[in-house]
Amino acid sequence: MKLKYFFLVLILSSFVISPSGIIDLNDLFDYENTYVPAYINKDNTTTGNEITNSGATLGRVLFYDKNLSSNEAISCASCHFQEFAFGDTERASLGVNGTTGRHSMRLVNSKFTHESRAFWNERAITFEVQATMPIKDHIEMGFSGENGDPNFDDLIERLNGLEYYPLLFEFVFGDSEITEYRIQRSLTQFIKSITSFDSKFDIGREQVSSNYNSFPNFTNQENLGKSLFFNSPFNGGAGCFRCHTGSEISITSNTLNNGIVGVIGEEEEVDLFNTKAPTLRDLVNPQGVLNGPIMHDGSLNSLMDVVNHYNDLVETDENPQLDSRLFGPENDLDLTLQQKEALIAFLETLTGDNVYTAEQWSDPFDDNGELIIIPLITGIEDVNNIAKVKLFPNPTSTIFSLNLPEGSYQLFIFDINGKLIRNTNPKTGHQEDVSGLKNGLYFVQIKNTDTKEYTIKKLVKI
């Protein structure tokens, strides 16, 4: 009870609460049932760590929390930006002790891949194993335990001292203990929940039975590009699908080197063992602008550079790792300018829309880095079960209803700044007209005037 009053006071006293800044455990996003098209077959979920709404919610908080870095300045999202499909526009990303040795990877559709290992060179056997590697990396987040860095136990101690984590861990795992294993599981659930299936490609694919059919919503140029992508050079194509495969457009697990061998900042060095790429979806944003430089060394800066790279690549003794699937009957692909432009037009159809702004994958902290958790309200013995009162429909543009039991109640509506804007006395079957309110987020407090018990609901006016 005390806790709840405390949170109410927090909500009502703060002036700058934005829609982010609050996580209501009674009203989670649905991460479990995100839409996956029927033509997507690959699912690399680690058995026993299926996505749950609660686990992914905790993962979201961890992903955006700068407390996960030694200097409290870097979160996972500092190198994986939602607005860039969870990649980075910088060639090398900035960590707590310098910049990364490889380019950041986009984290879209990473659950739906043929290759289930993580990183460009596949050094993490699962995404769970991967999840805490950046935290323990001296350059990236700095809890390495070496060179004077704090270690992982120090991180756990810090997280224990933050108000929201004991609450969240208890909510997800049944008790409030914070462990590396639990952090790995929740971060992975969040990352694997990030999906992008509303691209022009998806709208077309939905209407046909195979990638080889002409898509009704594509231009001739896009269909030509698709055909080049999905056909082998022995068949007049460019052969991309031999490694970037399926409607997932994710990389096969037995791919070798693709001829990109650079090392960021080290002109003289070569690195032949980068054999994974993120899905080729969302290389560009909905405006057609690249989400960042391309390849593990960020050495290519346009889709034309990519196509030219593959077109001009020839076999060489200097690179024994080169994958033979890069080549056709001729050593180079011999694409015309028209074919190159078509291939680019096709790659641009792979971009979605929703993933760039959807709230469930956005920063839950407010502008001041604060986060309020509205705790789970369950089985309140002393009252009329007010927590079970439902407010519907929500979002609404006109009225909402309340399924109130018999009794006497007060209803308060607060705006996002905590300002009281309405106070009424609802009865059983009550309907509240909110058509006059500005669109936005509101808090509705429903209070039993006899018992003083109350509940707070988020209301979205559209």
Choice from 278, 352, 364, 426 touching ligand HEC (CB under 6 A): 278
Choice from 23, 56, 141, 249 touching ligand HEC (CB under 6 A): 141
Query: Residue 64's closest CA among 73, 55, 76?
Result: 76
Which residue, 293 or 426, has its beta carbon nearer to ligand HEC?
293
Which residue, 344 or 434, has its beta carbon nearer to ligand HEC?
344
Q: Residue 190 Cβ, how far from ligand HEC at the closest point, in Å?
A: 8
110 touches ligand HEC by CB under 6 A: yes
The whole-angstrom separation of Cα 230 and Cα 338 is 17
Between residue 305 and residue 364, which ones bind ligand HEC under the rule CB under 6 A? 306, 310, 323, 325-326, 343
- Residue 255: partners with Cβ closer than 8 Å, 6 or more residues away: 115, 243, 275, 276, 323, 325
Largest CA distance in the chain: 85
107 touches ligand HEC by CB under 6 A: yes
227 touches ligand HEC by CB under 6 A: no
Which residue, 84 or 443, has its beta carbon nearer to ligand HEC?
84
The whole-angstrom separation of Cα 375 and Cα 200 is 40
Q: Residue 225 Cβ, how far from ligand HEC at the closest point, in Å?
A: 9
Instruction: Give how many residues touch ligand HEC by CB under 6 A.
Output: 53
**Segment near ligand HEC (CB under 6 A), from 28-36, 211-219, 289-297, 421-429?**
289-297
The whole-angstrom separation of Cα 219 and Cα 204 is 11
80 touches ligand HEC by CB under 6 A: yes
Q: Residue 21 Cβ, how far from ligand HEC at the closest point, in Å?
A: 21
* Residue 125 vs residues 48, 104, 131, 268, 349: alpha-carbon distances, Å: 16, 18, 11, 29, 31
Query: Residue 149's closest CA among 69, 62, 64?
Result: 69
Query: What is the C-alpha radius of gyration for the chain, rounded to an integer number of angstroms?
Result: 25
224 touches ligand HEC by CB under 6 A: no
Neighbours of 115 (CB within 10 A): 17
Query: Residue 195's closest CA among 27, 364, 347, 358?
Result: 358
Which residue, 95 or 352, has its beta carbon nearer to ligand HEC?
95
Which residue, 244 or 461, has its beta carbon nearer to ligand HEC?
244
255 touches ligand HEC by CB under 6 A: yes
Taking the CA atoms of residue 148, residue 151, residue 153 and residue 155 in that order, the dihedral angle to the nearest 10 degrees is 100
Which residue, 221 or 384, has its beta carbon nearer to ligand HEC?
221
Query: Residue 178's closest CA among 159, 161, 191, 163?
Result: 159
76 touches ligand HEC by CB under 6 A: yes
**Segment near ligand HEC (CB under 6 A), from 173-181, 197-205, 237-245, 393-401?**
237-245
The tokens of 330 are what? Answer: 């001729």
243 touches ligand HEC by CB under 6 A: yes
Which residue, 114 or 296, has its beta carbon nearer to ligand HEC?
296
The whole-angstrom separation of Cα 83 and Cα 356 is 5
78 touches ligand HEC by CB under 6 A: yes
204 touches ligand HEC by CB under 6 A: no
Choice from 116, 193, 223, 274 touching ligand HEC (CB under 6 A): 274
Which residue, 263 or 380, has its beta carbon nearer to ligand HEC?
263
40 touches ligand HEC by CB under 6 A: no
The whole-angstrom separation of Cα 279 and Cα 292 is 14
The whole-angstrom separation of Cα 144 and Cα 136 is 4
- Residue 304: partners with Cβ closer than 8 Å, 6 or more residues away: 340, 344
Choice from 70, 82, 130, 351 touching ligand HEC (CB under 6 A): 130
Query: Residue 222's closest CA among 248, 250, 199?
Result: 199
Binding site for ligand HEC (CB under 6 A): 68, 74, 76, 78-80, 93, 95, 100, 102, 104-107, 110, 118-121, 127, 130-131, 134-135, 140-141, 187, 191, 238-240, 242-244, 255, 258, 260, 274-278, 280, 283, 294-296, 306, 310, 323, 325-326, 343
